[in-house]
Amino acid sequence: MYHPHDESAAASPRERGAVSPDAGADERQIEGALRPRALDEFVGQQRVREQLSLVLHSAQRRNRAPDHILMSGGPGLGKTTLAMIIAAELGAPLRITSGPAIERSGDLAAVLSTLQEGEVLFLDEIHRMARPAEEMLYVAMEDFRVDVVVGKGPGATAIPLDIAPFTLVGATTRAGMLPAPLRDRFGFTAHMDFYTPEELELILHRSAGLLGAPLEEDAAREIAGRSRGTPRIANRLLRRVRDYAEVRGDGRLSLDTARAALELYEVDQLGLDRLDRAILDVLLHRFRGGPVGLSTLAVSVGEEAETVEVVAEPFLVRSGFLARTPRGRVATPQAWAHLGLTPPPDAAFGAAAANGASPAGQPGGVATP
């Protein structure tokens, strides 16, 4: 089973296909080398960069720790990279932990009480933190205080402990899962979007330079187009193409080499991988294009609902293959076409509903029985 957020427990990208947005264990090391270190080096996300730059610089002018920062966006879009950049731009030490690592409030108290003044605390997958720890985090974020509970039962007392002013940088793939009181305590939320093919090309050229790989223009364009708008995937495909060029070719990363390598790794023209194709396949063949509920769809492809929702769906929706309607997931005409199929005359089309051609819940062209 594959968990989208727990990188240590995630199946290797090879098992999941080359375009899984999650990093495998050995991949994280390589990623470290490719990470931009300064805001200026960070490609794309123009708005987020500008906003962030303002937040950081104004805090520095006032000589205070900046507001807490929340980053939301799918896996591989640069949240961890940005957290590291925030600390670097502030010249502050960085402490890294994650929601799943905080099982008890005591785990969090141990981290909070040892923070230095101005330190940046990066809390990855913050939506997966244990509930009791959340309450403690509220107080820490607002008042820079933790209440340490001593003893048990009726005799237990809470001893307030001051902690150093710090900046929390939270990252989540599911902002909607954060309780409102937690969300409200962030002064700034950065929404990370998918990258354009042009931005991915820039990232690819930058990475190729760092890897010393001679990447040609049209090869970069080809790889960018198949990277699902995700830098992590772009960097991974680049390495696959480089491997292929070294072993089977003359070392040059040309368009032909790129195509042959991507073919070998089953990444199609649009970057759809096996999970994406399985979802479309099930949706079209078993459910006649939908609508079908998320959990039913997930069970049918043997994945967890969260994986389907966080990893596959956003890209399928953005590519115009799938629409979320109040009645469930619906395949678009484009999805039928991509799989070379003709939709049945009574097929529901999410595209019409999604682009507003008909009221939500009443997909166009469907006579609701």
Ligand X SMILES: Nc1ncnc2c1ncn2[C@@H]1O[C@H](COP(=O)(O)OP(=O)(O)O)[C@@H](O)[C@H]1O
What, of ligand X, Mg ion, none, does residue 43 touch, CB below 5 to 8 Å by kind?
A: ligand X
What, of Mg ion, ligand X, none, does residue 76 touch, CB below 5 to 8 Å by kind?
A: ligand X
Stretch that binds Mg ion, among 44-52, 75-83, 96-104, 240-248 (CB under 5 A): 75-83
How many whole angstroms separate alpha carbon 18 and alpha carbon 38? 28
The answer to whether the beta carbons of residues 152 and 104 sit under 8 Å apart is no
- Of 124, 167, 325, 327, catalytic: 124
**Look-up of token digits 């340490």:** 148
How many whole angstroms separate alpha carbon 60 and alpha carbon 228? 36
Backbone angles phi, psi at 117, to 5 degrees: -60, 130
- In sequence order, the 6+-apart residues with CB closer than 8 A to the CB of 343 are 289, 331, 333, 336, 349
Q: Is 107 a catalytic residue?
A: no
What's the closest the beta carbon of residue 212 comes to ligand X, in angstroms?
16
What's the closest the beta carbon of residue 259 comes to Mg ion, in angstroms?
30
Q: Considering the complex, state which of residue 80 and residue 105 has its C-beta at the smaller distance from Mg ion.
A: 80
Number of residues that bind Mg ion (CB under 5 A): 1
Determine which residue in the list 20, 45, 80, 230 makes contact with Mg ion, applying CB under 5 A: 80
The alpha carbon of residue 89 and the mean position of all alpha carbons in its chain are separated, in whole angstroms, by: 23
- In sequence order, the 6+-apart residues with CB closer than 8 A to the CB of 99 are 123, 124, 125, 126, 127, 128, 129
Q: Is 296 a catalytic residue?
A: no
Give me the half-sphere count of Cα atoms (radius 13 Å) on the Cβ side of residue 89: 26
What's the closest the beta carbon of residue 222 comes to ligand X, in angstroms?
19
What, of ligand X, Mg ion, none, does residue 98 touch, CB below 5 to 8 Å by kind?
A: none
What's the closest the beta carbon of residue 43 comes to ligand X, in angstroms?
4
Interface residues with ligand X (CB under 6 A)? Answer: 31, 34-36, 42-45, 75-81, 203, 231-232, 235
Catalytic positions:
79-80, 124, 173, 232
